[in-house]
Homo-oligomer: A and B are copies of this chain.
Amino acid sequence: MGLAKTEMFTDQQNEIALFAKAFGHPARVAILQHLFKINTCVCGDLVNEIGLAQPTISQHLKELKHLGLIKGNVEGTSVCYCINTENWSKMKQVMHAFLDQDMNNPTCC
C-alpha cells in the first residue's frame, strides 16, 4: 500500500518516524550538514554544493522547512536558508530519548 497506518501508533512514535524520515535521504543530510558548516544563512549555492537539479533541491528544502528544521528568509530575488536552532533542539530531545533508551539488564537468548 505504501501508506503507514499512523493511527495505530502513539504520537511520540509518529513524531520520531517523521523526523527520522526527514533524515532518511542523503541529500537532506547533506543540506543540513552544509547549513551547520557554513555557520550562517546560505543563499542560492545549495544547488552547486549538492549535485542535484534545482527543482530537486527546492523540494528537499520544502520538506525540511515544513518540518520546521530550517528557516527561509527572502532576500531580494534569492532566499536565505538556515537551521531553525530552536526546533532543531526540540527535535534532538525527541530523537535522543529514542536513541538513548537502554536495556537495564539485557537477558537475551
Contacts and interface: CB of A to CB of B under 8 A. Distances in A.
Interface of A: 4-6, 8-10, 13-14, 16-17, 20-30, 33, 36, 39-41, 50-52, 71, 73, 75, 80, 82-83, 85, 91-92, 95-96, 98-109
For the complex, would chain A's binding face be called helix, strand, loop or mixed by DSSP majority? Answer: mixed
B13 A26 contact: yes
Contact of A13 (B30, B41, B108): B30
Contact of A98 (B23, B24, B39, B75): B23
A6 B26 contact: yes
A12 B82 CA distance: 22
B92 A106 contact: no
B98 A82 contact: no
B23 A20 contact: yes
Given A23-B20, A95-B95, A33 B109 contact: no
Contacts of A100: 92
